Amino acid sequence: MKIAFVGKGGSGKTTLSSLFVRYLAARGLPVVAIDADINQHLAEALGAGESPPMGAHLPEIKEYLRGSNPRISSAEAMVKTTPPGRGSRLLRPGGGDPVHALGTTAPCGALLLATGPFEDDDLGVSCYHAKTGAVELYLNHLVDGPGEYVVVDCTAGADSFASGLFTRFDLTVLVAEPTRKGISVYRQWQSYAAGFDVPIALVGNKMQSPEDLAFLGSQAGEEPLAMIGHEPAVRAMEQGRPFSLDDLGPDTTAALAAIKARLDAMPRDWARYASLAAEFHRRNARSWASDRAGEDLTSQIDPGFTLGPHALAVTV
């Protein structure tokens, strides 16, 4: 199951991602945590070492994933939206492949992957999406089942809309502080995601008073999935002091349980997942990628292939 934490800068995406990762790992569940933010803070929040950046290994990742897929002429012709097809190599969460080999195991047991920070070289010549492109490729080639989790700490705001990344999750948690800005980011996501039927759950964070609760509920126009107040234990986690999930207040623990329950209940439709990937690839190919590659990249879409557990036996 794939879940993303999004929201405005400073709303608590990294904090909630890390708490949710620890919550799942503490239940003995397999978890891959991905830091897809420009500012890489998830490793710190998980008390993990830095992972080699996926963004710096894109050529190898592409070479591996394309496998013997005849529709992808070279690793260079593989762009962030290139979907898998017959011959592609697929990934299993935490599998023994070169992509997961880039990960670092956090003390809680989760495997942490990171896109890598925004570097000076990236400025002007490309945008951050080149880095999050590694995550999009990863998710597009991943076959995950119930009880397996991929948790992605996303970049602030609505940057994910620049690609198909926002359609790759079973559930997107919009973390919002009870402020007008927090709500406006939620509305922006809601309106964009509605066109693609992307499931979003609102989670209030840093809630301090009954007024905060009333504000969020009334402004959002719907009941938030969960609310989290000020958590003193978060500071301990950030300062690298001993931290345990038992240090969290009951409301936060209930919020984490509610997020897991909602995620677990999400239906999986592999055919739809693949068709959205193809749709965003077509858009990407038409807008810039085919020109850049010097070939028509829409022909990379394999009409005879659908991602899913059945495809593992055939292509791996």
Can residue 299 be called a binding residue for ligand ATP (CB under 6 A)?
no
The Cα angle at residue 150 between residues 146 and 152, in degrees rounded to 5: 145
Distance CA 214, CA 156 (A): 25
Q: Which is nearer to ligand ATP, 174 or 220 (CB)?
A: 174
177 binds ligand ATP (CB under 6 A): no
Of the two residues 41 and 283, which places its CB atom closer to ligand ATP in the complex? 41
Report the residue number, 128 or 305, with the smaller CB distance to Mg ion. 128
Which of 50, 238, 251, 295 is close enough to bind ligand ATP by CB under 6 A?
238
Residues of the chain by 3-state class (helix, strand, coil), percent to 5: 45, 15, 40
**Only segment of 11-19, 159-167, 276-284, 301-309 that touches ligand ATP (CB under 6 A):** 11-19
Binding ligand ATP by CB under 6 A: which of 1, 2, 3, 12? Answer: 12
Q: Which of 136/231 has CB closer to ligand ATP?
A: 231
Residue from 11, 40, 167, 284 touching ligand ATP (CB under 6 A): that is: 11
Question: Rounded to an integer, what distance in angstroms lies between the CA atom of residue 194 and that of residue 271?
Answer: 19
Q: Is 59 in the site for ligand ATP (CB under 6 A)?
A: no
Contact 65, 89 (CB under 8 A): yes
Give the residue carrying structure tokens 């085919």.
Answer: 290
**Residues in contact with ligand ATP, total (CB under 6 A)?**
19
Q: How far apart are CA 288 and CA 204, in angstroms?
A: 38
Q: Containing H/E element for 149?
A: strand 149-154
State the minimum distance, in angstroms, from the CB of residue 30 to ligand ATP.
24
For residue 114, the SS3 value is strand
| Cβ proximity of 290 and 300 under 8 Å | no
Asked if 231 interacts with ligand ATP (CB under 6 A), we say: yes
Residue span binding Mg ion (CB under 5 A) among the ranges 13-21, 116-124, 199-207, 272-280: 13-21
13 binds ligand ATP (CB under 6 A): yes
DSSP-derived letter for residue 30 is -
Stretch that binds ligand ATP, among 8-16, 123-131, 144-152, 286-294 (CB under 6 A): 8-16
The smaller minimum CB distance to ligand ATP, of residues 60 and 212, is found at 212
CB of 182 to ligand ATP, least distance (A): 10
Q: Beta partners for 2?
A: 150
C-alpha span between 263 and 29 (Å, rounded): 14
Q: Report how far residue 97's alpha carbon sits from residue 90's, in angstroms, rounded to the nearest whole number.
A: 10
Q: Tell me if 14 sits within 8 A of 37, measured CB to CB.
A: yes
Residues 133-162 that bind ligand ATP (CB under 6 A): 156
Beta bridge partners of residue 200, listed in sequence order: 172
Distance CA 89, CA 161 (A): 26
14 is a site residue for Mg ion (CB under 5 A): yes
CA atoms within 13 A on the CB side of 4: 26
Partner interacting with residue 15 (select from Mg ion, ligand ATP, none; CB below 5-8 Å by kind): ligand ATP
Task: Pick one of 57, 206, 260, 262: the residue that binds ligand ATP (CB under 6 A).
Answer: 206
Binding site for Mg ion (CB under 5 A): 13-14, 37, 41
Binding site for ligand ATP (CB under 6 A): 7, 9-15, 37, 39, 41, 156, 205-206, 228, 230-231, 234, 238
